[in-house]
């Protein structure tokens, strides 16, 4: 994969799946982990969908959905940290990736919006 956001969001989803396995197996936590599993893996799925968009507006819509999912994932990660389901070092590692993805998606949406005008 040579698409930066596609690559980053895919490997972020891998980390999310591993985190959820940890939360299920080690912490016996299912509700929050299922929420973050949905939002964290949806980022990359929407990025891939955006690559097949039928128009620039369709592309922008899919990227915006990916961005919303990234913000939701940010929320669940902070909640998992504050409720002590994950340690600060576990949080720091994956949260850095999440914020980087958010920044890239924001940049993509801004560029796409300016190109629509």
For the full predicted model, state whether its pTM sits above 0.75: yes
Q: What confidence tens digit (pLDDT) does each residue in 55-67 have?
A: 999 999 999 999 9
Residue 39 falls in which region: left (phi positive, over 0), alpha (psi -120 to 50) or beta? alpha
| 19-74 pLDDT, tens digit each | 999 999 999 999 999 999 999 999 999 999 999 999 999 999 999 999 999 999 99
- Kindly calculate the radius of gyration of the chain based on its CA atoms and give it in whole angstroms: 15
Match 């895919």 to its residue by tokens. 10
């Amino acid at each position: 994969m040579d698409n930066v956001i596609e690559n980053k969001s895919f490997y972020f989803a891998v980390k999310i799946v591993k985190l959820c396995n940890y939360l299920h197996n080690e912490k016996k936590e299912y509700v929050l982990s299922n929420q973050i599993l949905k939002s964290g893996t949806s980022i990359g799925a929407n990025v891939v969908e955006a690559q097949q968009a039928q128009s620039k507006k369709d592309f922008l819509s899919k990227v915006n959905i990916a961005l919303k999912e990234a913000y939701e994932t940010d929320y669940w990660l902070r909640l998992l940290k504050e409720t002590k389901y994950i340690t600060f070092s576990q949080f720091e590692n994956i949260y850095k990736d999440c914020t980087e993805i958010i920044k890239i998606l924001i940049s993509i949406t801004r560029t796409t919006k300016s190109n629509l005008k």
